[in-house]
Structure 1
Amino acid sequence: MGRPDLKSNDSRRALNQPHLKVSLEYVDSILDYLVQSRINMYRMSSDLAPYATHPDMPHFHSMVEDSRYELGALGAKARALDIRLSFHPSQNVVLDTPDPELLRKSVWDSTSRPEMLDLMELGMKPLWWCMLAAPMVILRQPERDE
């Protein structure tokens, strides 16, 4: 199912300056397809904002804020079309890791998706995984040798 010409995210490599704004244009086209196909739920790519939380690429870190207007417009369109949008955490998010550095990176990586959903003004339903994950981070602190 689907159309092979529809892309889910800007998958260009970092040297080619991929951006969330390009990904949002792709999702806008996907919303049109979903309406035509009478589908009212879409799980967006966890790579929607490429490199937005990459620790070694700070020049990408502001792309969510830089795309505030576009995120709001896409959220308004999704609401008008009654299409529910959500994310899954990326494969790099490991909230039950005993490694404190991986846990720190996982928590940071998890912040961009709720921020995007917030700017889309989609309400709390898409954030269920974030709300479930937060207590795990608090409860599953790595044991420390003292």
Structure 2
Amino acid sequence: MKIGYPCVNEAMDCSAANTFRLASYADERLVAAVTANLACLRRMLAWNVAQGLLFFRMGSGIVPFGSHPINTFPWQTHFAADFQVIGDYIKANNLRVSFHPDQFVVLNSPSVDIVQRSIQELIYQGSMLDLMGLDGTAKLQIHVGGLYGDRELALSRFAAVHATLPAAVKARVVVENDDRLFPLRDCLRLHAETGVPILFDNFHHECLNHGEPMAEALRLAAATWHPTADGVPMMDYSSQALGERKGKHADDLVDDQFRRFLQEFHGLDMDLMLEIKNKEASALRAVTILRELGLSVPAPNIPSPPLSLPPDPNAPPKVRRAKKAVSSE
């Protein structure tokens, strides 16, 4: 069982999401941003390995405008060696990585344009995993999409578009149950029709379900993963923020609650991505709990890389990604 956190190390002095405005696009800006992003990603992975955090969701913005028509720079060949070095490090240290494309990736949209842009974004993000030399156990995590007033049609559109995905992308795509529109039951239907594995989200299941107990839900989702082609099932873990609207993620890991949740596994192995606001801080506590329970490997006996380095006057400033808008569909 591996523990991870998504995209950003809050304590580190660099970002792997440096970008710039579309209106100021230039190849030189792109090269500078990607160079900085890959360097920071490599530092984050090294820090994670030293802490025993062996699951990491990489940010979608490593290559600014990676799927946009304006980006015609051959970044795949220019940065091929850099991606390969990162991939070699991931494999050498038994890391698990993934991407979670942004909410504009909606395969079941009635809009042909949105669907095509969604596919191009999946191709872009999958190509980074390909450049790293990673197999199909490195995943692209998406939601079913919008309801658009007709659940049956929305599900059938997803299945139809999924069938058209390039084989390299289809091998990586997993679908997540959400907290408002498409619960586990709908995702199981899609798996039966398309073979897409289900990345289970415990918090979303608590918000929206058909009465499946948590232990049963975990097993139903895990059974959709092929043990070699897909690897150990991935899942997202979080909990309700106290005093906030239903569905708002907690700011911090609640240790006792996490311990109780681990009892639901009954020997089942899954890699856990903590969707908790303070990211690496909670992940460190979670992996300590796993070690106490004998569910994770001991801490490695290697030096921990520094969170901060002497300032580089040529480095772009650290970027904080804007909060995602909540869809009204």
After TM superposition, is the score higher than 0.5?
Answer: yes
1:105 corresponding residue in structure 2? 117
Residue pairs, 1:18-29, within 5 angstroms: 18=30, 19-29=33-43
Deviations 1:22-47 (A, max 9, x none): 21111001012102221001100011
Pick from 82, 91, 94 the counterpart of residue 94 of structure 2.
Answer: 82
Instruction: Give the TM-score taking structure 1 as reference length.
Output: 0.79
- Structure 1 runs (4+) deviating above 4 angstroms are none
Give 5+ residue unaligned stretches, structure 2.
1-8, 145-157, 165-329
> Letter of the aligned partner of 1:102 in structure 2?
I
Over 3 Å counting, the alpha-carbon distance change for 1:136 and 1:72 in structure 2 is farther
User: Within the alignment, does 1:124 sit opposite 2:136 as a pair?
Assistant: yes
Q: Identity across aligned pairs (percent)?
A: 24
2:104 to 88, 92, 95: 92
Structure 1: which amino acid aligns with 2:49? V
Q: 1:38 to 1:6 in 2, by over 3 A?
A: farther
Whichever residue aligns with residue 12 of structure 1, its letter is F
Moved more, 90-99 or 6-15: 6-15
| C-alpha distance in 2 between matches for 1:63 and 1:40 | 27
- One-letter amino acid matched to 1:105: R
Does the CA contact (< 8 Å) of 2:16 and 2:36 recur in 1? no
In structure 1, the residue corresponding to 2:48 is in which secondary structure? helix
C-alpha RMSD of the superposition: 2.6
- Cα gap change, 1:4/1:21 in structure 2, threshold over 3 Å: closer, same or farther? closer
Paired residues in the alignment total 136
Kindly indicate which of the two structures has a greater share of residues assigned to strand.
2
Structure 1: state its 5+ residue gaps.
141-146
Equivalence for 2:72 = 59
- Distance in 2 of aligned mates of 1:52 and 1:94: 17
Letter in structure 1 aligned against 2:114? L
* Alignment deviations for residues 87-121 of structure 1 (CA, whole Å, 9 cap, x no partner): 11222211110001111111111101111101111
Whole-angstrom distance in 2 between the partners of 1:107 and 1:99? 12
User: Larger C-alpha radius of gyration, 1 or 2?
Assistant: 2
CA 48–58 in structure 1, closer or farther in 2 if over 3 Å, else same: closer
